[in-house]
Amino acid sequence: MYESADILEAARSIRPYLSELLSTAQAEEIDQQLADLLAQANTRQPIDNLILELLAAQDATREWLSRFLQDKQQPEHLRSFSPLPGQGSIVNAAKFVCPQGDYTWYRPRVGIEPPRCPTHNLPLDQA
């Protein structure tokens, strides 16, 4: 099936997008539930199925989760990018994570400052 690490990364990574995928009330509720589950993950409790059930309950989060996990299961050589010939170069999105390990955010454009972790109100660290 899916690797536990991939499920946890999906739970951390979807949190910034919940407000785009769901109504405000749903997004806040699911975000809090994910924060609670991820806190349990830090204590080595098995929560993979709980995360999958939570995110599968809504169409938008189920589709997001499915795409995320499918991308993770592709062989590395299929996920890689080969630039066109010429002077171009690959620009990677900067990844930021909560020091407590329950929130992941990718910078969409240069110049945008990362938010604070919504769970712990801590500044995010660049990964």
Q: What six digits make up the tokens of 56? A: 């599968």
Instruction: For residues 104 and 126, give the distance between their C-alpha atoms in angstroms, rounded to a whole number.
Output: 10
- How many structural domains comprise the chain? 1
Q: What predicted TM-score, i.e. pTM, was given to this entire model?
A: 0.71
Q: Is 40 within the bounds of a domain? A: yes
DSSP H helical ranges for 17-125: 18-21, 24-41, 48-56, 59-73, 76-79
Q: Is 67 within the bounds of a domain? A: yes
Q: What six digits make up the tokens of 98? A: 């909560």
Instruction: For residues 5 and 12, give the distance between their C-alpha atoms in angstroms, rounded to a whole number.
Output: 11
Q: Is 125 within the bounds of a domain? A: no
- 19-63: pLDDT as tens digits: 999 999 999 999 999 999 999 987 777 899 999 999 999 999 999
- Give the confidence band of 12 by pLDDT, cuts at 50, 70, 90: very high
Instruction: For residues 127 and 118, give the distance between their C-alpha atoms in angstroms, rounded to a whole number.
Output: 18
Structural domain for 57, as ranges: 4-78
In the block, tokens 């994570």 appear at: 97
Q: Is 83 within the bounds of a domain? A: no
Return left, alpha or beta for 6; rule: phi > 0 is left, psi -120 to 50 is alpha, else beta. alpha
Q: Is 91 within the bounds of a domain? A: no
The one-letter code for the residue type at 56 is A
What average pLDDT score do residues 86-114 get? 86
Q: Is 126 within the bounds of a domain? A: no
Q: What six digits make up the tokens of 115? A: 């938010």
Q: Is 97 within the bounds of a domain? A: no
